[in-house]
Amino acid sequence: MDIQKLQRAIIDALEDVKAQDIKVFNTTHLTSLFDRVVIASATSNRQTRALASSVADRGRSLSLTGITIEGEDTGEWVVVDLGDVVVHVMQPAIRQYYNLEEIWGGKPVRVKLLPESSRPAPVASHGDDDDSEY
């Protein structure tokens, strides 16, 4: 699959669940393991899980195989590995502490994001142990 199409599909999946501060980095010059790193913020454990699930579901809908998700147990930092793209969904304090932008941020990719006011309303989920809302 074309990396730009995959990147766009991931961004759309993140925007569908109201991800904040989405950044995309070209990593081809740093590693041969993957071509892009996407970093996004979420406001709660529930939202990090929902964002990761949305990204994984979008990848599956594109017939990607071998998708893995790590970190769903705590929900503070969830990583979705889609092969050519690795997505980090983090709560703001964790994102600030680990500062992945410094590691991967040498070559940011310009992408068009939806304005906050144009994003769809989040889908409510039930049965989560986290009381906070997003």
CATH code of 78's domain: 3.30.460.10
Q: Is there a domain that residue 130 lies in? A: no
Residue 75, domain member (yes or no): yes
Chunked in runs of 10, what are the mean pLDDT values of the chain (134 residues)?
92 96 91 93 97 98 96 96 97 95 78 60 43 39
Residue 36: predicted pLDDT = 93
- Among candidate residues 44, 31, 28, the one with its CA nearest the CA of residue 90: 44
CA atoms of 87 and 3, how far apart (whole Å): 14
Phi, psi of 52 (to 5 degrees): -60, -40
Domain count, the chain: 1
Residue 43, pLDDT score: 96
Residue 119 falls inside a structural domain: no
Tokens for 111?
Answer: 């992408």
Judge whether 69 lies within some domain: yes
Q: What is the model's pLDDT at position 128? A: 44
**Predicted TM-score of the model (pTM):** 0.81
Residue 84 placed within a domain: yes
Range of the domain at 40: 3-110
